[in-house]
Every structure is written in structure tokens, then in C-alpha cells.
Homo-oligomer: A and B are copies of this chain.
């Protein structure tokens, strides 16, 4: 039996870049990551990163991988932070910064006007909102001819293309996308004041966009001419890596925020807009769709409880335990608790309900133990996500594939996920899920 082919996946995240060498089934042979520090000082509410720093860091992290493994890589895939946009010139060189998904330059009035004109709900930081804002403020800067995501740009550079292309997972995350045709919603794009020429061409998910240039091959210590797959959105890349049986699993990720994702059955056809307020339908590799509920406050709710307990002790003039020990105790007392207290965990509001806040219900006269609050909060975080998805999407699902640091570190959150979703929970055994998923995506080019 010959050795399995190896694949390289690269992930340009919001705070770090990562690279992984995987086998086609996602088995990880090696992974590396590094905090990139690409954030730029900019106007209040703006969120920008330096694309040169991001691309250099991505190249560097690949070179940190074992040379012997790199030499055996047969295909390359990339992924990265969704929603953001970078402008490029006619030679595919960045013009200006990456405006990230965290950017808040578009105020509510601008977004409402945009929704009225286009029929799409857009959030600030979504590529098409950023481009519409640029158009509204005087057009693209000098020299800019096209826009793309930062991982689209990396992919284009790897294959020596002057004009980046994008795939449906990234295009959908920009906002003015037709989920049924998997193309830009042209009338909406024009209504937003965006020139269709600025938008990258959409190629199918997992398409081969070219072959590794001599220069890139040399930089990476890989064979030239190996295929490079179209960049994938990091949400979908992570799901590729964490779901082992997409038809019968749900993906649950808790970082600062949280996502609950369900890959929809083959043959699913999105509604005209493909989205309702509480969740999004997104394209998924293999011609499929995934329903994603996103909470602004996931793991952050857990930190809220630790910081609240700490604050109470400070308020009472008592020395609190260190935060690490506090997290441990929250787990212990929460796991031991049985309670009828319930907590709504939307502490920061939600994208579809910005006025929502947290609420603790069912408080009786007996002292409210910390464990009861911990358990109620853990359940509330998961229930919040569950209730954003239509109940029928969860029918027939048998397992929760869990990822993200909050789930990795806190058994109580995994127990609560199992209780609330009424399924066993399996924690992803790996890290760098997005980079692994990008590698798996590239593996499709070898079939």
C-alpha cells in the first residue's frame, strides 16, 4: 500500500495564520501557527490589517513545517477570515489595507438604506457593505481595479494570477450574492453603487485555479505545478475538518462568539434570499448548503461569569482566586449543580436582535449558588444557538462535533451542549481546523 498523498492547507485568521499538512481524510501530519500582529492603527470604529504582513506571515508559517513533509505535498488549499475585503491593482498587488469583518464604518442608517436599495441585509464589515461605502465616499482609491478576500489574494499569488477569483463560500459572505444561482446578485450589486467590474469572478467551490508558480514552489519547498484550490471561507473549512458525517452531525464552535452549523441535505434549495433573521444559509463544498446560527456572545458569556464572580469578591473586599482557578471552579460547581434557573445568554445582543441582553430567570428565595448560574449559563449559550435554527434542521442529527477553545477547555459547556441538543458531544481532537479543512479541500483536486 502506497503512502497517502499529503496536502497543504493555509489559514489567514483574524489574529493568527496557520498551516497544516494533512492526509485527504484530514488526518494531520503537522501544523503550525503564529500570531501575525497585522492590525493597523486606524480611525475609531474602523478595523484594518496590513495585507503584506498577512501574506508574509502566511508564507513564513508554511516554511516552519517539516521540509520532508513539504516536499511530498501534492496540492494546496487556502482559507481565511470571511467577510473582509482588500483592493488590488492590475498586477494583483494590494492597494490599501484589508478592511476586516470587524469594521464598523457603516452606520445603521447607511446599512438600512443599503438594505432598502438591494433587498439584502448587510452588516458593517461584510465585503459588499465595505465596497458600497467606498463607492458612496468617492469610489475606489487610485490604482485599485478589483476587490477580493485576503485568502483569494494569497491563492492568486500562489498561481501567478494577476486578477484573483473567489468561490461561493467567500462571495456569499460579502452579502450581495444569489444563493440559488451561486452568482453575484447583479441588480443588487448595481443598486448598491458597486461597479460589477470590481467584484472577483466566481469559480466553483474546490475548483483548481491554477498551479504553483516556480517562485512559490521554491519559497515553500514544494514541487512546482501542483494544483491550488480556490480559497474557501474559514467557517466552511472548519466544518470540513470537524464533521466526519455531515448528514448526521451538527457543528458547534465556541470561541468568543459561537456558531451552530448544520450541513443541509443534498438537494436543499435555498429560498429567494436564502436567509432569515436568525440564521444564514451559506454555500458548502460539494454543491451543498450549510445553515449557520451565529451568536455574538458564546465563550464570552463564560468569561462574563468568571469576571462577575471576581468582581463580587472585589466589591466585598475579598481577594479573588486567580482567573484560571476560577474557571476551574466554575466547571466543578456547575457540573455538580442541578437547578431550575435558566439564563438567556445574549449578553451583547445578537446580529438579528441588537437590543437583546442577558436574563437570569426562575430565581427563588434560597441563595443562588454559583454552580446553578454556571450551569444555567452554559445551557443558555447552547440554547441560544439552538433556538436560532429551525427545529427541523436538527431532526436526524446524532452527534455534536465540538470545537473552539471555550468548548475545549470547559467540560461543563460540552455537558450542557449534550443536554440541550440531546446528542453526544465529540470534541475535535485537533487544532487549526480551518487550515486542516483547507488542506482537505485541496485533496479534492487529486480525485
A358 touches B367 (CB 8 A): no
Beyond A310-B367, A311-B370, is A321–B318 a contact (Cβ under 8 Å)?
A: yes
Is A297 on the interface with B (CB-CB < 8 A)? yes
Q: Is the CB of A360 within 8 A of B360?
A: yes
Determine if A266 is an interface residue (Cβ-Cβ < 8 Å): no
Determine whether the beta carbon of B333 is less than 8 Å from that of A370.
no
User: CA A213 – CA B315 in complex, angstroms?
Assistant: 60
User: A-B pairs with the 6 shortest C-beta distances?
Assistant: A358-B363, A307-B367, A315-B370, A311-B367, A360-B360, A347-B365
Q: Are A315 and B329 in contact (CB under 8 A)?
A: yes
A313 touches B315 (CB 8 A): no
Q: How far is the CB of A78 from chain B (nearest CB, A)?
A: 33
How far apart are A2's CB and chain B's nearest CB, in angstroms?
53
Q: Contacts A304-B365, A357-B363 given: A312-B347 contact, CB under 8 Å?
A: no
Interchain nearest-CB distance for A274 vs B (Å)? 30
User: Does A348 sit within 8 A of B, measured CB to CB?
Assistant: yes
Q: Quick check: is A67 within 8 A (CB to CB) of the other chain?
A: no
A44: Cβ under 8 A from any B Cβ: no
Note all chain B residues with C-beta closer than 8 A to A318: 313, 318-321
A359 CB–B CB distance under 8 Å: yes
Q: Which residues of B contact A311 (CB under 8 A)?
A: 367-370
Q: Write the residues of chain A forming the contact surface with B, with a CB cutoff of 8 angstroms.
A: 297, 300-301, 304, 307-313, 315-321, 326, 329, 333, 347-348, 357-371
For residue A308, which residues in chain B have a CB less than 8 angstroms away from its CB? 367-369
A297 and B364 alpha carbons, distance in the complex (Å): 10
In the complex, residue of chain B having the shortest beta-carbon distance to the beta carbon of A363: B358
Asked whether A364 and B360 contact (CB < 8 A) given A316-B326, A321-B317, the answer is no
| Complex: A360 Cα to B308 Cα, angstroms | 14
Kindly name the residue among A315, A329, A370 whose own CB sees the greatest number of chain B CB atoms within 10 A.
A315
Which residues of chain B come closer than 8 Å to A317, judged between CB atoms? 321, 329
A-B contacts, 21 listed (Cβ < 8 Å):
A301-B365, A304-B368, A308-B369, A309-B312, A310-B367, A311-B367, A311-B368, A311-B370, A312-B369, A312-B370, A313-B318, A315-B329, A315-B369, A318-B318, A347-B364, A348-B365, A357-B361, A357-B363, A358-B363, A359-B360, A360-B360
Beyond contacts A358-B362, A359-B359: 6 other A-B pairs, Cβ-Cβ < 8 A, are A304-B363, A311-B369, A312-B312, A312-B313, A315-B329, A359-B360
Given A364-B358, A367-B308, the answer on whether A333 and B320 have CB atoms closer than 8 Å is no
In the complex, what distance in Å separates the CA atom of A263 from the CA atom of B317?
44
The answer to whether A360 touches B363 (Cβ under 8 A) is yes
